């Protein structure tokens, strides 16, 4: 479902956001600092469930891409769906760490893989899945 109630977002700013997701997931996976999952959880909640335009990191990255001249506006719906998935995975990572389980490494690896793909190629797997869902569903 296209989101016309929220202004378009910059896909290149979201590539910077993918770099942050990659870095935080790598810190979670490779170091003892598991608390960093809070960054993914709150960032995903803010961008995915409220509005990307209210997120400080998105504002910064959007300003940078606009200043450099590489802003590329896209509909916010698919990017917000991707952020909802980041929020869910960040929550899983945080809760499982607090419970003393290592299972949070699974979403951390998934985020590292998909964030790397997005960062390197610009292909957002969650955005693709979002679009395909609405095409198959016929909406």
* Tens digits of pLDDT across the chain (139 residues): 567 788 899 999 999 999 999 999 999 999 999 999 999 999 999 999 999 999 999 999 999 999 999 999 998 999 999 999 999 999 999 999 999 999 999 999 999 999 999 999 999 999 999 989 888 887 5
Which residues sit opposite 10 in a β-bridge?
A: 73
Query: In angstroms, how far is the first alpha carbon of the chain from the final one?
Result: 7
100: left (phi over 0), alpha (psi -120 to 50) or beta: left
């Amino acid at each position: 479902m296209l989101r016309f109630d929220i202004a378009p977002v910059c896909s290149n700013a979201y590539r910077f956001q993918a770099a942050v997701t990659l870095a935080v997931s790598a810190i979670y996976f490779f170091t003892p600092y598991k608390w960093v999952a809070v960054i993914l959880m709150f960032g995903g909640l803010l961008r995915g469930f409220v509005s990307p335009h209210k997120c400080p990191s998105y504002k910064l990255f959007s300003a940078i891409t606009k200043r450099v001249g590489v802003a590329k506006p896209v509909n916010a719906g698919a990017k917000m769906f991707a952020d909802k998935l980041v929020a869910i995975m960040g929550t899983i990572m945080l809760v499982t760490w607090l419970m003393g389980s290592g299972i949070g490494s699974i979403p951390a690896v998934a985020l590292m893989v998909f964030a790397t793909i997005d960062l390197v190629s610009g292909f957002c797997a969650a955005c693709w899945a979002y679009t395909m869902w609405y095409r198959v569903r016929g909406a």
